[in-house]
């Protein structure tokens, strides 16, 4: 298999996932309450065997799952992705006891996971985080805030990144697994544009011990970057799924819609826009698959490829969905229309897990580093 084609079995699996998302997941998503964890949807993702695959799949398979689910049910895609984002550090860097306690529950959809990196003053500059881990007799006490944390405040546990060594930048950060019932940990929901749950967390001397460390002390930034390098291409896959859904809707609409004595598709200005939408969507898809394959193969340029994939795919999806809305006209802005939903969903991926500007900085840094290494 190459990075630029899928085998028949993979294509068949994507088709199956789209059908499952439309027939079994979308009805459950429709019954969910905006801004709250949809526990019935999570349980169904577990029952279908999709959540367990978060811990057995490579990056390409994760991308295929996210793209296929996003095409038919963005809520299901996001629920699956957030479970993976919150639990991957436990899977990849946790102790045997941490894995045994939490991962089966995450896979079943009964324990909600969350990734708590962002702070009010440390979003794009993650190395500048200030949540403090103060040494104590039995470990540390966490004090500070996290903000814009998906699944907060409803998660069962949080992968929390805190500063254990002041003034050390990225080298002084430690990752902790913090159960939600720890004393001193409180959370509040935030009312955001996206319908999935997002909240803020306050840490008031929250106790953690060596048993709660993920990976090594002062090496938590590596845990964060390892997680993001895996999930950034799959954010691109989520975006590609949305772009493809918008493109498919536009093809159907322009082929049926009567305008100016013919069909919309017969207008060259319309046909050329649709062609551009298709071109950009396919280009983004190929870059996502290439980045995911590079991750699976352990290639040395994963950070650059992951950043490129997320950047191109999320910017492409914004363009494609916007063009789709324009070609549909006012009907696309009506509450409940597919494109109205996608128009709200497509904006956030250009910000979370590293804004587009951060991805450009990563790409440039990697390019110049390679130049210096020659």
What tokens appear for 67 in the block? Answer: 């793209």
- Would you say 293 and 3 are in contact if contact means Cβ atoms under 8 Å apart? yes
Count the neighbouring beta carbons within 10 Å of the beta carbon of residue 161.
Answer: 28
Catalytic residues: 353
């Amino acid at each position: 298999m190459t990075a630029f084609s899928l085998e028949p079995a993979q294509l068949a699996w994507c088709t199956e996932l789209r059908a499952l998302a439309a027939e079994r997941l979308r009805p459950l998503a429709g019954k969910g309450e905006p801004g709250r964890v949809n526990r019935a949807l999570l349980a169904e993702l577990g029952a279908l065997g999709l959540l367990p695959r978060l811990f057995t799949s490579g990056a390409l398979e994760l991308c295929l799952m996210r793209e296929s689910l996003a095409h038919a049910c963005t809520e299901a895609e996001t629920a699956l992705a957030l479970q993976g984002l919150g639990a991957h550090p436990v899977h990849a860097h946790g102790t045997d006891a941490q894995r045994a306690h939490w991962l089966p529950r995450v896979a079943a959809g009964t324990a909600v996971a969350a990734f708590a990196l962002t702070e009010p003053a440390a979003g794009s500059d993650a190395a500048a985080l200030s949540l403090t881990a103060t040494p104590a007799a039995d470990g540390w006490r966490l004090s500070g805030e996290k903000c814009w944390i998906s699944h907060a405040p409803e998660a069962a546990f949080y992968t929390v990144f805190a500063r254990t060594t002041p003034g050390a930048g990225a080298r002084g950060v430690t990752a902790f697994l913090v159960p939600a019932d720890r004393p001193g940990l409180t959370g509040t929901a935030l009312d955001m544009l996206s319908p999935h749950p997002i909240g803020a967390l306050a840490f008031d001397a929250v106790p953690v011990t060596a048993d709660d460390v993920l990976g090594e002390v002062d090496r938590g930034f590596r845990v964060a970057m390892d997680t993001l390098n895996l999930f950034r291409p799959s954010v691109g896959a989520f975006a590609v799924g949305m772009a493809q859904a918008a493109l498919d809707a536009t093809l159907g609409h322009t082929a049926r819609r009567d305008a100016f004595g013919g069909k919309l598709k017969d207008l060259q200005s319309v046909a050329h826009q649709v062609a551009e939408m298709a071109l950009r969507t396919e280009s983004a898809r190929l870059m996502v698959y290439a980045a995911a394959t590079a991750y699976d193969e352990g290639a040395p340029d994963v950070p650059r490829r992951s950043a490129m994939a997320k950047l191109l795919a999320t910017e492409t999806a914004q363009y494609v969905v916007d063009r789709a809305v324009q070609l549909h006209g006012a009907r696309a802005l009506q509450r409940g229309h597919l494109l109205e939903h996608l128009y709200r969903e497509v904006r956030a991926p250009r910000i979370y897990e590293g804004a587009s500007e951060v991805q450009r900085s990563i790409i440039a840094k990697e390019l110049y580093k390679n130049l210096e290494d020659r």
